[in-house]
Structure 1
Amino acid sequence: MTVEDVMTTKVVSVTAATPFKDIAQALITGGISAVPVLDDDDHVIGMVSEADLLRKEEFREEFYREGYRPPLRARLRHPKGRQKAAGDTAADLMTSPAITITPAATAVAAARLMDAHDVKRLAVADYNGRLQGIVSRRDLVKVFLRGDEEIAAEIRDDILDHALWVDTSGVRVEVHQGIVTLSGWMDRRTETAIAVRMTGRVNGVVDVVDKLTWKTDDSTWEAR
């Protein structure tokens, strides 16, 4: 499954000149945690998140409550926080360059990119950098909402009957809550391993329980 399959195409966006309060209103109204910042040609130039907006209050609470003003060395230790705390527009507040992904990338690649950068959503841009959509963690979770019958049908039709090119008549497929159980027999041990591996890559599969047996143990041939 690709990013294009799960992304949201109706995107709330702002420009570099959008004021602080308008950004906050866009986040609240849209029920979202971040918005892309676009230039005049729809290129993604940054992202503004709830965390970026909250820097203003956090910095004020940390350093300026009860009239206290921190010494210069303390303020210098928080240059980005101070800069964003003083920001009034998206240009001041945004994280730039934005972390983007292409529509053709896999959902797995999107999940890994989010995890690597500790973000909840990614701007989806074409190869020219123009916005195509937004993909969030919630969008990726939707992959696991496929029905058990739909998953089982794909495993039988696409993997067992077409992809493996071996006799799979002895294989049974059962799916419950996304957990696939493969049971029965195949001719060779290496074939069962391939079947299990390919089944695990089907969208919506949570786990694979391998109960397959084989007539010939050819794993020792591979070792040679």
Structure 2
Amino acid sequence: MKHLRTVEDVMTHSVISVDRETAFKDIVETLRMWNVSALPVLSEDGRVAGVVSEADLLLKAQGTDTAHGTTAGQLMTRPAVTVTKDDTIPAAARLMARGHLKRLPVVDGDGRPVGLVSRGDLLKIYLRPDEDIGAEIRELIMYQPIPRGSAEVYVHVANGIVYLNGSLPDPTMEDVVVRAAGTVPGVVDVKTDFIVPAAA
């Protein structure tokens, strides 16, 4: 499986959007037709100006829309929270969590949409085979600043959980190895059982 590291690796490349003048009913129909919960709203020059979501529309249904909006431009949330295709998957996940968002528009350097990334897309990294994760961790550990003569690191991965054991020459080396393993896409947790010399 391809290493999934950036938004581009997991995003949907097709973009369903509306413009500022799209009417309320047409927004609802577009959401239903494409089975999505939010849509980017594009300005006249094709940049993402905001996002209109089911939550925005429900304010109208609840009678709490004090602005009395009837078009996407009036109902949308702005400024839009967006990511670029080169952003990392963890960075996109943090943005979603912080804003309680289900999906993010992916934009190019000019702010024009090139795709969409959802929570489900970001979770694809956890579908990596354990064998792939283990192989990448072993390769990564080879480049860590650990004295080779007195270190033995064994790696086993099961269901995304990494088990590291063996022997290390210095207790501080354990943190180095654990941090390295934790950076590999698809890792759920890292557990260790190293033999290390007692601190003096």
Q: Same fold (TM over 0.5)?
A: yes
For the residues of structure 2 that align with 1:171 and 1:141, how far apart are their CA atoms? 28
The counterpart of 1:145, out of the listed 121, 127, 139, is 127
Out of 66, 70, 78, the residue aligned to residue 82 of structure 1 is 66
Matching of residues 20-99 of structure 1 within 5 Å: 20-59=24-63, 81-83=65-67, 86-99=68-81
Superimposed CA distance per residue, residues 28-72 of structure 1 (whole angstroms, 9 cap, x where no aligned partner): 12121101011233200010101111222111xxxxxxxxxxxxx
Q: Take 2:145 and 2:105, find their aligned partners in 1: how far apart are those partners?
A: 37
Bigger Rg over Cα:
1
Structure 1, unmatched stretches of 5+, are: 60-77
1:7 maps to a residue whose letter is M
Residue 160 in structure 1 maps to residue 141 in structure 2: yes
Larger relative helix fraction: 1
Distance 1:131 1:166 in 2: 48
Whether 2:191 is the aligned partner of 1:209: answer yes
What is the rounded CA distance, in whole Å, between the counterparts of 2:15 and 2:144 in structure 1?
38
C-alpha distance in structure 2 between counterparts of 1:195 and 1:165, whole Å: 9
Number of residue pairs matched by the alignment: 195
Are the aligned partners of 2:151 and 2:169 in contact in 1 as well (CA < 8 Å)?
no
Q: 1:187, CA displacement in angstroms?
A: 2.3
Q: For the residues of structure 2 that align with 1:56 and 1:117, how far apart are their CA atoms?
A: 21
Moved more, 103-112 or 176-185: 103-112
Q: CA deviation at 1:186?
A: 2.3
Secondary structure of the residue aligned to 2:169 is strand
* Distance apart, 1:8 and its partner CA: 1.4
SS of 1:25's equivalent?
helix
Instruction: Say which is worse superposed, 162-171 or 12-21, in terms of deviation.
Output: 162-171
Q: Give the secondary-structure state (helix, strand or coil) at the position aligned to 2:109.
A: coil
Corresponding residue of 1:111: 93
1:128 counterpart = 2:110? yes
Query: Which AA in structure 2 matches 1:186?
Result: L
AA aligned to 1:116 is R
Alignment-mate amino acid for residue 173 of structure 1: V
- Does 2:8 correspond to 1:11? no
Partner of 1:194: 176
Give the fraction of aligned pairs with identical amino acids, expressed as a percent: 46
Give the TM-score normalised by structure 1: 0.80
- Residue 205 of structure 1: SS of its match in structure 2? coil
> Quick one: distance in 2 between partners of 1:8 and 1:169?
44
> TM-score, length-normalised on structure 2?
0.89
CA contact (8 A) 1:100 1:123 kept: yes
2:181 alignment partner AA = T
Structure-2 separation of matches of 1:104 and 1:180: 27
Change (3 A) 1:164 1:148: farther
